[in-house]
A and B are shown apart, each in its own frame.
Chain A
Amino acid sequence: MNVYVKSTIPLAEDAALEKNPVSAEIEFCNVTKMYGAVAAVKDVSLKVRRGEFLTILGPSGSGKTTALMLLAGFVAPSKGDILISGKSVAAVPSYHRDQGIVFQNYALFPHLTVRRNLEFPLEMRGMKTANRAARVERMLERVHLNDFGERMPSQLSGGQQQRVALARALIADAPILLLDEPLGALDRNLREQMQGEIKALHKEFGKTTICVTHDQEEALTLSDRIIVMRGGRIEQTDAPEALYDRPTTRFVANFLGEANLLEGSDFKLECEAAQPSATVAMIRPERICIVAPAAPKRADGGQRQSVIGTVDDMIYAGPLRKYHVRVGSSILTVREHVASGQQIFKPGDQVRLEWLRSDVRFVAD
């Protein structure tokens, strides 16, 4: 998906910024980063398209930050090469790489006002003082911080600091934007609001963006594509929906959302295709319907498999209701949206679970 939306902030105000393309292409070629004997990033190859929003998702210690720092030039790869717009940046120091970065703790300069923080990247690119002021003003306006220019970073709330950091990363119009857990420090409501903000800014500025996060919801909401990392390797790369719907490995299936892995279960799993070897059958909890044993079968009953089980417990979570149902020796998780007129089951109740055969996936073990 190539976004070529022209940014509302005119680019060529100053000779210093004239040559910047809107966005750039990034390529990792077999990149490995060793710390002593530990490989923080292991043989990673990856291509990021211009204007794409890519999220790196993975558990703690999986090498996400390292991957970002490799791209930013703060650590050098032990093996492999990184290309930006087709050119190797192995010999390019971080301060010539032309990237905007939002650090996890924002890294706003504590001794400079918000305005001076925003001016910093412009000044470093040799932009004239007169041109800087207007640009800073517009950027402040864009992130709704018009009246905050003279404040020190320590006088801002977390969300405001976050917006300053975003503005500072975007103001010099660098073609690449890197976000390291940008919303990690914010509370849930603010995080949702800022997700919208980031999405809007991405649409507006069209920068190639790489975002590192722990938060799967954030990854699913924001990204064009998600990379799941595990132990320094890329486990799977896909668009959000495809990744959630068709995980290729047990790890991804478990890491992204919840999964019922039907291994060694007492009942025979019926499905459309034959199960490949060394795989496990998987079905998402929301794909399973829970009904009373005697409830009439649906019209498409032929496509469905149904089993009888006993409710173990029920967990109420706002809009959702989660059941753990014992079927033979295995326990299946079922998730159901709360709706009016629904039958609610109690622990000990007999229930019938059914699902479409086409909703069963096979993931590599």
Chain B
Amino acid sequence: MEALQKLGRMPTGLAVPAFAILLVIFGIPIVQLFLISVNAPSFSVVNYRAFFEQGATVFVLFQTIEMSVVATVVCLIIGYPTAYLIVAAPKSVRTTLIVLVFIPWLTSGLVRTYAWTVILGDHGLINNLLLHLRLISDPLPLLYNRLAVYIGMVHITLPIMILPLVSVMQGIDKSLMAAARSMGARPSAAFWRVFFPLSLPGVRSGTLLVFVVCLGFYITPQALGGLRDAMLSNFIAAQLASSLSLAPIAAAAFILLAIAVVMLSIFGLDVSGTPHETAQPLRKSSPYRLRALGRLLQYLYEIGIRYRANRWTVHLYQPIGNSGRSKIVGAVFVLLVMVYLLFPGLVVVIMSFSAGPFLEFPPSGLSLQWYRSFFGDPSWTLAFWDSLQIAVTVAVLSTVAGTLAAFGLSRTYPRLRVFLMMVILTPITLPAIVVAVAAYLGLINLGLIGTKAGIVLAHTILAIAYVVVIVAATLANFDRRLEQAAKSMRAGPVRTLVRVTLPLIRPGIIGGAVFAFIASFDEVVVTSLVSGFSIRTLPLKMLENINQQLDPTIAAVGSLLTLLPVLWLIALYLTWWRSKLKLQGASANQIA
């Protein structure tokens, strides 16, 4: 009872708007979906049995798992050494590399998938090059097969693997490696006995994230794979478009959900029990992945500081011997990975400026013709405006709701906080297609299918999650004693918030808003299910055109979708940098 009263006094109530939206768009529908899948109120497992009795669906299920496992393993094999080399690089190079990994993560997966069709297609980059060099006489069948799907999946998920790894490896005290070596461990022994075990949390979170994202893949297998490379998401989406009954769809969604939840609870939840974790103070016991992301953001935040005294150790204790050859091998490896990550996006951007009558790479001349045709075509400009309106609304809504929620959650009991945080992150933790089906049902409940308001709400549950992660990470670094100081000087709760807390966490809020905008502007899976036939957002219209391969204008669209987030990122960086600058040395001139 007393605990309840105390809870009432805490500003936990601030989280209500965010949870209300989540409940209506995702929480209630997912329960409904479950009830539908078991044919409530009669309760039977007939839909699940039907699923497992059909050879085709079981085949797709196993194929989904198989493809996810393969993609995840490949990601780890490429991602771990990449992250290691990034962390071992000198500071300036390291910063650049992290940003280069970050950029593809921010840019539309749809566009990058499209880029692979351009690169791998029969008249694509590779075949053209090989034909030109007369190495082959007929185009190789590079596209529409399993390999192409893997290339696309790994390309899209690699940043999600590398970034948590980097953030964990950054946190490993380099002097530990030096200590191990001073105790006689050879570099390889120091690595395997000290560095690798300490980096395991990053491996775990990266692997988990990638695997769950893979389970929900929808666009990539459809655009790059053959008919036999479909995944469960494609099956669910196709059913939703054709079938009248929701029940088999619900069952399929829950089977996918079950796999994801099992993986998350096996590898995600037991993390808090490891001794390494319990050594940390209580208030830091947020879910592991969240912390990794938070630490990463913190790192990005600190990019603004040029030289930090405590980084010198990194230069002194390079984790592995710097023999010239290993250096070169490492550099080449990182270079290849960066090309793999960045080249497709670049291809689209460059190609969009080509002058010929068809899209070509490299372009024979430069022109803005595809942009002209983009802005001259009302159906494209309409889609653009719709996307922009939706994204701005989502950004505003989710930034307000998400910031309030992060603030409220930071002031509640640690256990409750961990739980609520997990709840609010579900939309970005679960396979996209499951969230999409739930949101579809939620919007049917509200009668908002095919409306902008509906799309905004559906995007908002995703965007809120990003805002909460980022703002919560900023709040975790915020010294609560500053608030106490303000209160001891007669500032009430509101004035403390406005005068002290908000100015200090502003970079986090701005970052959250940018992420929310990007999340909405690029979103295509959920949108494709909830837009009905009345609204075409930019990515949605582009998706249709990829499938039909008709309109070269999509290169311009893809380029816009790629460049906008990059511009945002630069804007964000400058804001952070400026705010750092302001704190660090605004009045340097006064001293001089």
Contact B489 A172 (CB under 8 A): yes
Are B485 and A110 within 8 A (Cβ)?
no
B490 with A125: CB separation less than 8 A: yes
* Bound complex: CA A95 to CA B493 (Å): 8
Q: Kindly report which residue of chain B lies nearest to residue A149, judged by CB atoms.
A: B590
B53 within 8 A of A: no
For A180, give the chain B residue with the smallest CB separation.
B481
> Given the interface contacts A94-B487, A97-B488, A103-B481, does A155 sit within 8 Å of B587 by beta carbon?
yes
Task: Please measure, in the bound complex, the distance between the C-alpha atom of A105 and the C-alpha atom of B487, giving whole angstroms.
Answer: 16
Within 8 A of B (CB), among A132-158: 150-152, 154-155
Smallest CB gap from B9: residue in A: A76
Asked if residues B583 and A154 are in contact (CB atoms below 8 Å), the reply is yes
Instruction: Please report the C-alpha to C-alpha distance between residue A125 and residue B495 in the assembled complex, in whole angstroms.
Output: 12
Q: Is the CB of A152 within 8 A of B583?
A: yes
Which residues of chain A are within 8 angstroms of B496 by Cβ–Cβ distance?
95
Select one of B481, B490, B582, B587 contacting A107, CB under 8 A.
B481
Give the A interface residue count (CB, 8 A).
Answer: 34
Cβ contacts under 8 Å, B504 to chain A: 109-111
Give the shortest distance, in Å, between A104 (CB) and chain B (any CB): 8
Question: Is B484 within 8 A of A103, CB to CB?
Answer: yes
On whether the beta carbons of A124 and B583 are closer than 8 Å, the reply is no
From 171 to 226 in chain A, residues with beta carbon under 8 angstroms from any chain B beta carbon are 172, 178
Partner of A124 from B479, B493, B495, B587 at Cβ < 8 Å: B495
Interface residue ranges of A278-297 to B (CB < 8 Å): none
Q: Whole-angstrom distance from the CB of B321 to the nearest CB of chain A?
A: 38
A98→B582 contact, CB < 8 A:
no
Q: In whole Å, how far is A66's beta carbon from the nearest beta carbon of chain B?
A: 13
Tell me the minimal C-beta distance from A90 to chain B in angstroms. Answer: 14
Q: Using known A-B contacts A109-B500, A110-B504, determine if residue A172 contacts B587 with beta carbons closer than 8 Å.
A: no
With A95-B492, A150-B590, A151-B591 as known contacts, state yes or no: A110 contacts B487, CB within 8 Å: no
* Minimum C-beta distance from B86 to chain A (A): 29
User: A95 and B488: CB pair below 8 A?
Assistant: yes
Q: A94-B484, A103-B481, A150-B590 are in contact. Are A124 and B585 (CB under 8 A)?
A: no
Closest to B587 in A: A150
Q: Are B481 and A172 in contact (CB under 8 A)?
A: no
Alpha-carbon distance A172/B486, docked complex (angstroms): 13
Which residues of A have CB within 8 Å of B586? 152
- Asked whether, in the complex, the Cβ of A121 is within 8 Å of the Cβ of B484, the reply is no
CB distance from A262 to the nearest CB of B (A): 43
- Asked if A151 and B587 make an inter-chain contact with CB atoms under 8 angstroms apart, the answer reads yes
Return the chain B residue nearest A124 by Cβ.
Answer: B490
Is the pair A95, B481 in contact by a Cβ cutoff of 8 Å? no
Task: Looking at the assembled complex, report how far the CB atom of A271 sits from the nearest CB atom of chain B, in whole angstroms.
Answer: 49
- A95-B583 in contact (CB<8A): no
Task: Give the contacts of A72-102 with B (CB-CB under 8 A).
Answer: 72-74, 93-101
Closest to B586 in A: A152
Q: What residues on A are CB-neighbors of B481 within 8 Å?
A: 103-105, 107
> Which of A94, A104, A105, A125 is the one whose CB lies under 8 Å from B488?
A94
In contact, A101 and B484 (Cβ under 8 angstroms): yes
Is A248 an interface position by the 8 A CB rule?
Answer: no
Q: Judging by beta carbons under 8 Å apart, are A95 and B487 in contact? A: yes
Known A109-B500, A111-B504, A155-B585; contact A74-B484, beta-carbon cutoff 8 A: yes
A120 at the interface (CB under 8 A from B): yes
- Is A168 positioned at the interface, with any CB of B under 8 Å from its CB? yes
Contact B582 A121 (CB under 8 A): no
Least CB distance, A145 to chain B, in whole angstroms: 13
- A172 CA / B487 CA spacing, docked (Å): 13
- Write the B188-222 contact mask toward A (1 if CB under 8 angstroms, else 0): 00000000000000000000000000000000000
Query: Complex Cα distance A94/B479, Å?
Result: 17
CB pair A95 B582 closer than 8 Å: no
A113 within 8 Å of B by Cβ?
A: yes
Q: Which residues of B are found within 8 Å of A96, using beta-carbon distances?
A: 490
Smallest distance from the beta carbon of A113 to chain B beta carbons, Å?
Answer: 7
A111 with B583: CB separation less than 8 A: yes
CA–CA, A96 to B487, complex, Å?
8
Question: Given that A94-B484, A105-B479, A107-B481 are known contacts, is A121 also in contact with B490, CB under 8 Å in the complex?
Answer: yes
Separation of A152 and B481 alpha carbons in the complex (Å):
18
Residues of A within 8 A of B489 (CB): 95, 100, 120-121, 124, 168, 172
B373 to chain A, nearest CB (A): 48
Which B400-427 residues sit within 8 Å CB-CB of chain A?
A: none
Minimal beta-carbon separation of B520 from chain A (angstroms): 30
Kindly identify, within residues 21 to 67 of chain A, every residue whose CB is under 8 Å from any CB belonging to chain B: none
Contact yes or no, A103 B485, CB < 8 A: yes
B491 to chain A: closest residue by CB: A124
B42 located at the interface, meaning its Cβ lies under 8 Å from any Cβ of chain A in the complex: no
Question: Does B482 sit at the interface, judged by CB under 8 A?
Answer: yes
Q: What is the CB-to-nearest-CB distance from B585 to chain A, in angstroms, rounded to a whole number?
A: 7
Q: In the complex, A36 Cα to B488 Cα: how many Å?
A: 26
Inter-chain CA distance A168–B482, complex, in Å, is: 13
Q: Once the chains are docked, how many angstroms separate the CA of A179 from the CA of B485?
A: 12
The residue in chain A whose Cβ has the minimal distance to the Cβ of B589 is A150
Most chain B Cβ neighbours within 10 Å, of A72, A104, A107, A109: A107
B488 cross-chain contacts in A, Cβ below 8 A: 72, 94-95, 97, 99-101, 169, 178
Q: Roughly how many angstroms separate A155 CA and B585 CA in the complex, as a whole number? A: 8
Once bound together, how far apart are the Cα atoms of A169 and B489, in whole Å?
8
Check if B8 is an interface residue, CB within 8 A of chain A: no
By a CB distance below 8 angstroms, the chain B residues around A155 are 585, 587, 591
Please name all residues of chain A whose beta carbon is closer than 8 Å to the beta carbon of B487 when the two chains form the complex.
73-74, 93-95
Contact flag A101-B485 (CB < 8 Å), given A95-B490, A107-B479, A121-B490: yes
Is B584 in contact with A111, judged by CB distance below 8 angstroms? no
In the complex, B141 has a CB within 8 A of chain A = no
Residues of chain B within 8 A of A113, CB atoms compared: 587
**Which 7 residue pairs are nearest across A and B when measured between Cβ atoms?**
A121-B489, A107-B485, A124-B490, A101-B488, A107-B481, A95-B487, A94-B487
Task: List 15 additional A-B contacts (Cβ < 8 Å) besides A109-B500, A120-B486, A152-B583.
Answer: A94-B484, A95-B489, A95-B493, A100-B489, A101-B484, A103-B485, A107-B485, A109-B482, A109-B504, A110-B482, A111-B583, A113-B587, A150-B587, A154-B584, A178-B488
Q: List 10 A-B contacts (CB under 8 A).
A: A94-B488, A97-B488, A98-B490, A99-B488, A120-B489, A124-B489, A151-B587, A151-B591, A152-B586, A168-B489
